[in-house]
Structures are given as structure tokens and as C-alpha cells.
Chain A
Amino acid sequence: AQKVTQAQTEISVVEKEDVTLDCVYETRDTTYYLFWYKQPPSGELVFLIRRNSFDEQNEISGRYSWNFQKSTSSFNFTITASQVVDSAVYFCALRETSGSRLTFGEGTQLTVNP
């Protein structure tokens, strides 16, 4: 069965600090997809990134970067120079190619203080 674990329930940082959100997953499939979503206070889940299991190249998008390590089943998300607007709950998710459902972690509440 697929499972996603986000061990950090809450993180609080001061603006301009870098912050890393951890994600560890479990799956028996050899091919799968990993996702990160952001859920701001308004409630709507916003897609941030998708990563295929066969592509371990790290990705950077502006202040966001993702570190995918298949050997440790981790897909960590780093925000550089955090801003107050980054305050939200961030979810890591997994979808096996053998299925259609997306399995979410329990989320990490990030608070960026001015």
C-alpha cells in the first residue's frame, strides 16, 4: 500500500530564512509520481510540482527547489528566502502508475513571520 509521511507538523521561520519541508514515501510500485501541493488559508489546493520516479534530477523554480532521492524514498521541498505569503499548509502526495488515486501526507503547516 502507498503511504506518505510528513513528519514536520508545524514549522515557523522568520522572513528571508530558508526552510526545508520533508517528505518520505512508501510504495511497492517501481514507477510512480510524486507531487507537492500548497493549501493557503483560503483552502484551495494549489499544484506546485510533479516528479516521475524515473527522473531523479532535482528541480528549481524561482525560490522553490525539490530534492528527490529514490535511495531514501524522500522528496523534500526547500523554499529559499521565505516570504510571509509562503505561509500555508504544504502537502506531499504520491500516485502509483498502477492506480489512479493520489495519496497525501498529513501536511506541514508553514508560518513565515515578518
Chain B
Amino acid sequence: DTGVSQNPRHKITKRGQNVTFRCDPISEHNRLYWYRQTLGQGPEFLTYFQNEAQLEKSRLLSDRFSAERPKGSFSTLEIQRTEQGDSAMYLCASRPGQGRRNTGELFFGEGSRLTVL
């Protein structure tokens, strides 16, 4: 399967702990996105990478959140000192850059569900 891969799929943690999620995009996609989705809501944009450069961050991304994409391949999203309000599904998506294969759509992974107790 060559789709977007995320792990872990589920994470239960206690308040105050740090968690890290990993996303492996489709190999030829140089653009990578992180979104957060809470129950009954649409996905909310968190941050965006083009290759290894983090080009945009949402105001939703507090200081406790950090994302990296070393070498422009996989990406990690770390949440420090988790709070109950961080409980959500964290979605990763990717798409190719400019070119014939770029239809603008995002290809989403299955998400990483975080529960903070």
C-alpha cells in the first residue's frame, strides 16, 4: 500500500505527558499537512510543509505543539504536556507539488486518535 501512513493509530495518555505522532506521506509528494479533527467537526488546519520547510502554522498550534519534517520525507507532530482538550484525531495529508499529477487534492491518512485522560 502506497498511501499516507500514520502511527500510532491510537494513543491513550495521561494529562501532562508528551506524545509524538508520525506520518509517512506518499513518496513523491513534497507537500505535507497536519490537521486536527474533533468529534462532530471538520478537520482544522494545523501546519504545512513543503519539503523540509514548515511554511505555515495555524494559530491553533500552541507552543506545546511542534512539527518537523527532516529531510523532507516523514513528519512528526509532538504535543508536550498534553491537556484533555488535546483529545482529537490528528490527520496527516500529502499532495504533489506543481506538475501534471497535481490535481490539488489532499491524500489523507487514517489518522492518529489521541485520548488524554
Report which A residues bind B (CB closer than 8 A).
4, 6, 33, 35, 37, 42-45, 47, 50, 91, 93, 95, 99-107
Report which B residues bind A (CB closer than 8 A).
31, 33, 40-45, 48, 50, 55-56, 58, 89, 91, 93, 103-111
Query: Do A91 and B43 touch (CB < 8 A)?
Result: yes
Chosen A-B contacts, 7 in total, with CB atoms closer than 8 Å, are: A4-B42, A43-B110, A44-B110, A91-B42, A100-B48, A104-B43, A105-B42
Instruction: Contacts A43-B89, A45-B91 given; indicate if A102 touches B107 (C-beta within 8 A).
Output: no
Query: Do A107 and B110 touch (CB < 8 A)?
Result: no
Chain B, Cβ-Cβ closest to A33: B104
Query: Do B89 and A107 touch (CB < 8 A)?
Result: no
Query: Do B109 and A101 touch (CB < 8 A)?
Result: no
Rounded to whole angstroms, the CA-CA distance of A95 and B102 in the bound complex is 14
Chain B residues positioned under 8 Å from A102 (CB to CB)? 33, 45, 106
Smallest beta-carbon distance B107→chain A, Å: 7
Complex partner residue of B45 from A43, A101, A105, CB under 8 angstroms:
A101
Rounded to whole angstroms, the CA-CA distance of A91 and B91 in the bound complex is 15
Chain B residues positioned under 8 Å from A44 (CB to CB)? 108-111
